[in-house]
Amino acid sequence: MSVDEIVERVPSSRSGFSDEQPARDAVRVAKFHTPEVIIGRGALAEIPRAAEGLGVSRLLVVSDRGILGSPWFSELADRLDKAGIRTSSFTGISPNPRAGEVVAGLERYGMARCDGIVALGGGSVIDAAKGVAILAANGGHILEYEGIDRARNPLPPLLAAPTTAGSGSDVSQFCIINDSDRKTKVTIIGRGLVPNVSVIDPRLFATMPPEVVAQSGMDAVSHCVEAYASRAHTRLTDAAALSAIGTAWRSLERLVNAPADPDAGMDMAYSALQAGMAFTNAILGATHALSHPVGGMCDAPHGAINAIILPHVIRFNAQADPSPYVDLARAIGLPEAASPHATADRFADEMSGLTTRVGLPTSLSALGVRAEDIPSLVVNALADACMRTNPRRPTAADVAAMYREAL
């Protein structure tokens, strides 16, 4: 079953009941896709064994310049060398990876005659590594794969070691690449993009700046909310999303204030993992569809943009059906208000409050977005693949209104 088939076959009602159709669970077969997961302090040491298990002999290590100066890059290199696995490295990745960087990574992959990839970094690094893998197996230009299930050939073995707790790219079927010419982010989706192995070592979070911890953590929170409200949600994704948002609610501020806190790091590692498993199987919604064009235009951190837009999307969706947000409010311990709509509105306020408490901006204007940018942002947001599973279908006027509210 392809992602496209799953998206097309889901009904629009969360409850799954209407005059015309049976319960949603009776309409379709659910599929829950995850990689092998190795999680725990010291898990980085397991990468050589995992690579050997995949039959890899020459690994391309994809990372960025910030990680290059951390102890984790050298630790991984030493362990791979001792295991007899030859490596080449590519660290020219920007916070929002460009198509040209993917091409440069592919050239390094080919020159070194690699047969596998390990991504050591945040979501941008892992997405760039996926882009390299797509081109290594399928050829062409990375922007040609925008959309769903366009990379037909199997990718080379791919391992991911996230250095942040939030992107979920290490377990997801998403690859987000910046299209500099169109000034937007391109969304590439496919089951084949899920890494073979995710190696999650909370020690790696300790060297991240507090603002990066906050951005990635709010990304995880937005994954929980969007996956739970998605038209493609299932019981499995619901359970993961509710558990993840509860854990993030208790742990994110602690990790922002003390990135080296081992307990907070482990909690956020599990929260990000569960959130990633939820959204890669349920897909996402309007928050991400509106966020991607802003990231492409302003080159701002993805998690920070999500945090700004999320409350406005919650309120828009809740006008049609507040029930998902009532459940999510309950998961973070928020008392129910006088009505489901009031509870959903209070939940949106809590999302804004958390954004403020972790030190992130609360308006798009703070990131450089202007009112005159909205028309072009609307066009790109409506074309984003994530919009297809939003629980309420927005018009161009609706999207423009949400952007204006977020300014």
What fold characterizes domain 36-206?
Rossmann fold (3.40.50)
Above pLDDT 70, what percent of the chain? 93
What gap in Å lies between CA 318 and CA 142, rounded to an integer?
A: 36
What gap in Å lies between CA 254 and CA 87, rounded to an integer?
A: 36
In this prediction, residue 8 carries a pLDDT of 52
In this prediction, residue 29 carries a pLDDT of 74
Please, is 114 exposed, middle or buried when counting C-beta atoms within 10 Å of its C-beta (0-12, 13-18, 19+)?
A: buried
Please give the average per-residue pLDDT across 324-337, as a whole number: 96
In this prediction, residue 12 carries a pLDDT of 43
pLDDT(396) > 90: yes
CA dist 109 to 59, 89, 93, 114, Å?
8, 9, 14, 5
Amino acid making up residue 290: L
- CB 91, CB 227: distance < 8 Å: no
What gap in Å lies between CA 262 and CA 264, rounded to an integer?
A: 6
Q: What is the mean pLDDT of the chain?
A: 92
Please give the average per-residue pLDDT across 328-348, as a whole number: 97
Which position has the higher pLDDT, 340 or 180?
340
Q: Considering the domain delimited by 209-406, tell me its CATH architecture.
A: Up-down Bundle (1.20)
In this prediction, residue 69 carries a pLDDT of 87
The pLDDT tens digits of the residues spanning 190-228 come to: 999 999 999 999 999 999 999 999 999 999 999 999 999
In this prediction, residue 10 carries a pLDDT of 52
> Among 128-132, 146-150, 292-296, which stretch is predicted with the lowest mean pLDDT?
146-150
- CB 345, CB 318: distance < 8 Å: yes
Structure tokens at 328: 């999510």
CB neighbours of 272 closer than 8 A, spacing ≥ 6? 162, 164, 165, 166, 167, 168, 200, 216, 217, 220, 244
All CATH 3.40.50.1970 domain ranges of the chain, comma separated, are 36-206
CB neighbours of 200 closer than 8 A, spacing ≥ 6? 37, 38, 39, 40, 43, 161, 162, 170, 269, 272, 273
All CATH 1.20.1090.10 domain ranges of the chain, comma separated, are 209-406
pLDDT(20) > 70: no
**pTM, full prediction:** 0.92
